[in-house]
Amino acid sequence: KAGVTQTPRYLIKTRGQQVTLSCSPISGHRSVSWYQQTPGQGLQFLFEYFSETQRNKGNFPGRFSGRQFSNSRSEMNVSTLELGDSALYLCASSFGIRDGDTQYFGPGTRLTVL
Amino acid sequence: SQQGEEDPQALSIQEGENATMNCSYKTSINNLQWYRQNSGRGLVHLILIRSNEREKHSGRLRVTLDTSKKSSSLLITASRAADTASYFCATASGGSYIPTFGRGTSLIVHP
């Protein structure tokens, strides 16, 4: 069965621009989570969507938003990009029906903000 | 804040040696998972151990869980250069669908 896919894999933007990242989960998974990974802060949880609803949210500003479609695919948007938003953005999918379900990660999108 | 904290932060060994990484956490958990991340890529799930289990094996991996000490260890036996990666523990507490990740241990295995 196909794994989690993320597009694009690499992205270069300038400050002030906005960006949309896409994630396709494993077939049958209804939960999609987004993480930001940087050398300084490690792996930080952004938000989780389950059946098109945001179910959990991390501690990030409102510039970071997301949505999930009826086919469980998810998009993440970052508006008014800042230099500090440069990071590896990881998406993970799971069944999302019990505590601590195994997360299956995509390869990530490397975002560079200049 | 992160629930699990891995120790050591970095580990450098020779091929064939065993590698042991530890994870400590603060609150009671339902389960603990270990993941591996090769440089700049996504995380790969290695093993899940539930709070009522003490030890699990998967190939060359052995995970132990001591809930009284709120700690877990990951042992990789007979390490290979391909085991070079960062290893993360992730804990799940009651009512949380999302595991919380630690900062990871960077393992380098020299051929």
Rounded to 5 degrees, φ, ψ at B89 are -100, 150
How many CB pairs (< 8 A) connect A and B? 74
CB contact under 8 A, A108 and B103: no
Task: Show the beta-strand stretches assigned E in chain A.
Answer: 5-7, 10-13, 19-24, 31-38, 42-50, 53-57, 64-68, 74-78, 87-94, 104-105, 109-113
Which tens digits make up the pLDDT trace of A23-65?
999 999 999 999 999 988 888 999 999 999 999 899 999 999 9
Dihedral sign, CA of B8, A34, A103, A26?
negative
Of residues A76, A88, A91, the one with CA closest to residue A31: A91
Distance from CA of A100 to the nearest CA of B (A): 5
Which tens digits make up the pLDDT trace of B44-89?
999 999 999 999 999 999 999 999 999 999 999 999 999 999 999 9
- What is chain B's mean pLDDT, rounded? 91
Percentage, residues of chain A above pLDDT 90 = 84
CB contact under 8 A, A108 and B99: no
Which tens digits make up the pLDDT trace of B27-54?
888 889 999 999 878 899 999 999 999 9
Chain A residues with CB within 8 Å of chain B CB: 4, 31, 33, 35, 42-43, 45, 48, 50, 55-56, 88, 90, 92, 94, 96-108, 110
CB contact under 8 A, B43 and A50: no
